[in-house]
Amino acid sequence: MTGTTPTSALAGLRVIDAASLAAAPLVATYLAEFGAEVIKVEDPNAGDALRAWGVRKDGVGLMWKSVARNKKPVTANLRTSAGQELLKQLAGEADVIIFNTRPSTLEKWGLDYESLRETHPHLIYLHITAFGEGGPDTDRPGFGTLGEAMSGFAHTTGEADGPPTLPSFMLADGVASLNAVYAVLIALYHRDVRGGGGQKIDVNLVEPLARLLEQSVLTFDQLGENPARTGNRWAITVPRNTYKTQDGRWIVMSGSAPSIALRVYKAIGRPELVDDPAYADPQQRLQRADEIDAMVADWIGAHPFDDVMRIFADEQVAVAPVYDAEQLLADPHHQARGTFVRMPDADLGSMRVQAPVPRLSVTPGRVEHLGRELGADSSEIYASWLGLDEARIGELRAAGAV
């Protein structure tokens, strides 16, 4: 999934990524994978904080390399009037601009939506913040961790007698970015197909994840009950848990569909339970969740991993191994699909990254290159988008604007 393609769905779309860290830049990453020309605007003195965030090799941020794929890095010091003016000029040539700076700061810089739409009414303006605009927390700083707490995720995650549990990856940022991508495409459809103008998109780090946890809200609203932590089990279906095999491997199983749950009984040698309403009926089954879960755990714990996987596969049970990164990369199915691609890189030699996730038959996504050095495309972009010559760009550099 490397190289160029004449059928890039978003070819001709110009996007400015003027954000930092995770959620907002990920939106630009997804658009870049499908052919949008994305320029990555960074402070000339420090660059995006993602460059130094997380695990590094030889001083190179590994997440930066992936999130900045396919982007053209330019520099502009938005704390200077010249840098602000440059970004305003670039916005006039773009279709989409992406920010995650606090609203008060953008307003101070003259880069808020109200200011830009006066001269650029065509612009799709995406603003991702911690809490969204219009409430008392509008201007509060925050990261995905806060979204994972306030969305209700941490409250429902973890063992019943343990503390609320946070994810070990950028969950809230990732969910927000996916919501924002489809919002951008909706806005572009409205503008380009329906004949509408530009508009502002307001996405935060709490609401997208809360939408996925809506079961808790519905339960409280209608029954007055607050769902509690249940570890790896789920109060609305059984069996559903992580289970350890005789030889120390972990698997997961989900009996969400009634037919799948009944197949589990056959797989563990209890076919008589299929015709017993106390164990077969979904609601009655929940009344015996502890018993059923222990029954499944005991059977799995008495059999080696290979036998468990084979027997469950024979009975068409929804089961999967718990992978670490090495096992994920070695999985034959993912290898056949090309889920991960190895890309050449000037800093690291090469690195494996995940290929674009949606598989489109006519307009597939591509990884063209990994994240590049700070300001690598400044001269080319300022010349091609704004018509600036090297002399003028040199003046801006000398003034600290780029």
**Candidate list 173, 221, 281, 324, residue with the active-site label:** 173
End-to-end CA distance of the chain: 34
Active site residue 345: no
Known catalytic residues are 173
